[in-house]
Structure 1
Amino acid sequence: MKHIFLMATALFLTAVSAFSQKVPYNVVFDITNNEPAIQQRMIVLIKEIISADPDAKVEVVFYGNSIAVVDKNKSAVMDDISKLSENKQVQFRACAVAMKKHNVDQSQLVSGVQTVPDGIYEIVKKQAAGYGYIKIVQ
């Protein structure tokens, strides 16, 4: 009986320890259009996350029509993206396939935005690495 009690106590303490460990706050945002309201929502969400958790990691992947958001000639949030990209917690990625389709080259990207070969694959990789997936909509 004493052994059963000790085993139950050990299992309980192990379970409590496992649940008390901090879950990483890692998020990958999916943006596929360039509506101003969605651009603003993206900026607000990023700021809220990095304020809430100093260890959070945020990656925003732009593909499809959202390439305009990271085109410095068209972006309504260029200054916000440039400033946020200076934070080691935040990364902005532009899909090379979408850039080619929309005739945008590397020199046109907002400062701090990096390219990835395929935006959808980048999202899949982040999900496989444990990132939470969020599609930004209005």
Structure 2
Amino acid sequence: MQVVFHHARREEAEHVLANVENLLGDDTVAVEDVAVVANADGVRTLTARSEHAIRVRTLREDDGVRFAACRNSLRSRDIEASALADGVETVPAGVGELARLQDDGYGYVKD
């Protein structure tokens, strides 16, 4: 199973990260790939200075979760890509990445 989590609201960061961890810890689900696509204010969760940066790094390094931030959202918030946590990718448009992944067979979960 491949799953993409859509993270758009910074205040839901704890919730989306917990859901990712819960999915990965569920032995009844065969998880092949997990991605988190952040847009709108969710991109703030993926910055190196975020209170969630260590948790994001752990999920990325230990569990192979892919994190992507929307360039449009970064630009509209005056956040440079260099401010993102190590290993966080950027995509031109978060909604485009979500659509592409769903077209590739990923299940969609909204924060």
Partner of 1:126: 101
Counterparts of 2:103 and 2:46, CA distance in 1: 25
Partner of 2:54: 79
Q: Which has the larger radius of gyration?
A: 1
SS in 2 for 1:92: strand
Letter in 2 for 1:125: R
The CA deviation string for residues 91-128 of structure 1, in whole angstroms up to 9 with x for no partner, is 00000111111111121001221111110000000100
Q: Do the aligned partners of 2:13 and 2:42 also contact (CA within 8 Å) in 1?
A: no
Unaligned runs of 5+ in 2: none
Tell me: higher relative CO, structure 1 or 2? Use CA pairs within 8 A at least 6 residues apart. 2
Counterparts of 2:37 and 2:56, CA distance in 1: 12
TM-score by length of 2: 0.89
Q: After TM superposition, give the deviation of residue 76 of structure 1 in Å.
A: 2.1
Q: After TM superposition, give the deviation of residue 79 of structure 1 in Å.
A: 0.4
Q: Do the aligned partners of 2:38 and 2:70 also contact (CA within 8 Å) in 1?
A: yes
> How many residue pairs were aligned?
109
2:64 is the alignment partner of 1:94: no
Deviant stretches of 4+, over 6 Å = none
Map 1:12-23 onto structure 2 (within 5 A): none
